Amino acid sequence: MRRIRTIPVLLIHKNGLYKSVQFKNYQYIGDPINAVKIFNDKGVDELVIIDIDASRNNKAPDIKKIADIASEAFMPISYGGGITTIDQAHDLFYNGIEKLIVNSSALRNPTIISDIADKFGSQAIVASIDVKKNIWGKYKVYADNGSKSTGLDPVEFAQQCEKIGAGEILLNSIDRDGTYKGYDIDILSSVTSSVSIPVIACGGAGSIDDFTKAVKQGNASAVAAGSFFVFQRPHNAVLISYPQNFKI
Amino acid sequence: MIAILEYGIGNVSSIKNMLKKIGANAVITNNIDDIKAASKLILPGVGRFDYCMSQLRSSAFFNVLERMVLELKTPILGVCAGSQMLFEKSEEGSGTGLGWIKGEVVKFKTDKLPTNYKIPHMGWTDIDPAQNNFLYAGIESPRFYFTHSYHILCEDITQVTATAEYGYNITASVQKDNIIGVQFHPEKSHQFGMKLYKNFVNL
């Protein structure tokens, strides 16, 4: 039996915590610091926190706020949003972040991955890849929070990220985001079989069974979700929950 | 007072946050007087072996640190890369380590790992502590958060205080007298890490 990390993904937008459906229709969840405290009390394996406004607005990470969030979190936190310099990377690590996530900034300037890996090690840098099927059914990498197709092939881009030093891939399916339809196993398997670093599946989880499928069929090393951890269905009332001790 | 050594590297605030949570008096410092006054030391580390070592060696407190650890036998806890630096060398770099404990740091042998055991080893792993090691006293079913691509090979296996299984057996922690190292991140391991730090603080 192996413990599989189950990772809540929290999106920061307009200073609050929000959850999207297919990277749109943002619903307010609550205060980020409170939510992180609740997840901490539930003994969560790891957290992903992404400031979805930062890159779009060319804004640097809000170090003070992130430090506040991290101060009561006794589990690993990965942070993404607006990271463009080594100094920011240093400040984030100093203030209690374990891993940095780059997405748009890596698409604009891939050397940010190698710069961080050279200094802080590959285990500290996560390449986040947002994928969506285009109208011809081909998977493409999207930039700027799912708003723009880059034309890049996700498998080739994931391999490139690994080659320049990424220690992990966070693979998000835009089509499945917030839908509870399960992970997109096709693209997940394509990526996991073509890189040798861990891949975190994200987008579409609706049940524990989906986690199991992502690991068994998609060979994911870890599973992440948003809605699954913050909503109670059928009406998507806000309720933070977390399953304990997920093993396969 | 516990000194968390500041040398431009590492997750110092995470460690401070946890020590604060358990009510221990700790400072993040590179000040020689603070370090001299400390009853215990913590050596954090995140990043490449050579970079961490060169940062540590060029810090003003380096000579004081060596004297405190080797002559005054002040307890020191190396965390993650900080535990690897206690050894003589690492496959991650070409420079030497502190050499306070005999042995080396090697890359995971990917050809010996089952499929789907990817590197870095990242996540929560149960550990198997040596009997009666003070660090794990009172921790039930201990498990900790690991994130590493290299692991320790300790020359004297009696200095290994816990092992973990990731595809094969690896060293999770070591102790030689006052010098202690943990490969995992106790400051990011909830109640398990809290208890471990308590045990270290109360040593």
pLDDT digits (tens, 9 = 90+) for A154-212: 999 999 999 999 999 999 999 999 999 999 999 999 999 999 999 999 999 999 999 99
pLDDT in tens, B172-192: 999 999 999 999 999 999 999
pLDDT in tens, A11-31: 999 999 999 999 999 999 999
Quote the DSSP letter at residue A179.
S
Q: What are phi and psi of A144, to 5 degrees?
A: 50, 60
**Which residue bears the tokens 């947002």?**
A130
Q: CA B153, B155, B159 angle in degrees (round to 5)?
A: 90
- Do strands B40-43 and B179-182 pair parallel, antiparallel, or not at all (unpaired)? unpaired
**Model pLDDT, residue A5:** 96
What is the percentage of chain A residues whose pLDDT exceeds 70?
A: 100
Contact A244, A221 (CB under 8 A): no
| Average pLDDT, rounded, for chain A | 95
Joined together, the tokens standing for residue B197 give 């730090």
Average pLDDT over every residue of B52-78: 97
pTM above 0.90, yes or no: yes
Taking phi over 0 as left and psi of -120 to 50 as alpha, with beta for the rest, B103 belongs to left
Please give the helix or strand (H or E) that residue B168 lies within, else none: strand B168-176
* ipTM > 0.85, yes or no: yes
Q: How confident is the model at residue B198 (pLDDT cuts 50, 70, 90)?
A: very high
Of the two residues B143 and B115, the one the predictor is more confident about is B143
Look at residue B11 and tell me whether its pLDDT is greater than 90. no
| 3-state class (DSSP) for residue B201 | helix
Contact B28, B13 (CB under 8 A): yes
Look at residue B153 and tell me whether its pLDDT is greater than 90. yes
**Model pLDDT, residue B136:** 98
CA A195/CA A185 separation, integer angstroms: 16
Please give the helix or strand (H or E) that residue A54 lies within, else none: none
Taking phi over 0 as left and psi of -120 to 50 as alpha, with beta for the rest, B196 belongs to alpha
CA A197/CA A123 separation, integer angstroms: 10
Handedness of CA A188, A190, A195, A196 (dihedral sign): positive
Q: Which residue of B18, B81, B110 is in closest CB contact with A74?
A: B18
| 3-state class (DSSP) for residue B187 | helix
Name which of B110, B113, B124, B127 to mutate to probe chain A: the one with the most chain A Cβ atoms within 10 A of its Cβ: B124
Report residue B161 CA to chain centroid gap: 12
**Which residue bears the tokens 């997405």?**
A103
Q: Which residues pair with B153 in a beta bridge?
A: B104
Q: Which residue of A75, A95, A122 is in closest CB contact with B149?
A: A122
Joined together, the tokens standing for residue B39 give 């009853």
Amino acid residing at A170: L
Contact A183, A173 (CB under 8 A): yes
Gap from A215 CA to chain B (nearest CA, Å): 9
Please give the helix or strand (H or E) that residue A236 lies within, else none: none
**Model pLDDT, residue A176:** 97
Look at residue B14 and tell me whether its pLDDT is greater than 90. yes
Q: How confident is the model at residue B10 (pLDDT cuts 50, 70, 90)?
A: confident
Q: How confident is the model at residue A235 (pLDDT cuts 50, 70, 90)?
A: confident
Tell me if residue A177 is catalytic.
no
pLDDT in tens, A119-135: 888 999 999 999 999 98
Q: How confident is the model at residue B115 (pLDDT cuts 50, 70, 90)?
A: confident
Please give the helix or strand (H or E) that residue B39 lies within, else none: none
Average pLDDT over every residue of A65-79: 94
Contact A20, A26 (CB under 8 A): yes
C-alpha distance across the termini of chain A, in Å: 5
CA A129/CA B64 separation, integer angstroms: 46
Q: How confident is the model at residue A83 (pLDDT cuts 50, 70, 90)?
A: very high
Catalytic residue among B80, B121, B148, B151: B80
CA A237/CA A203 separation, integer angstroms: 19
Q: How confident is the model at residue B41 (pLDDT cuts 50, 70, 90)?
A: very high
**Model pLDDT, residue B131:** 87
**Interchain contact B187–A (C-beta under 8 A):** yes
- A-B contacts (CB, under 8 Å): 106
Look at residue A56 and tell me whether its pLDDT is greater than 90. no
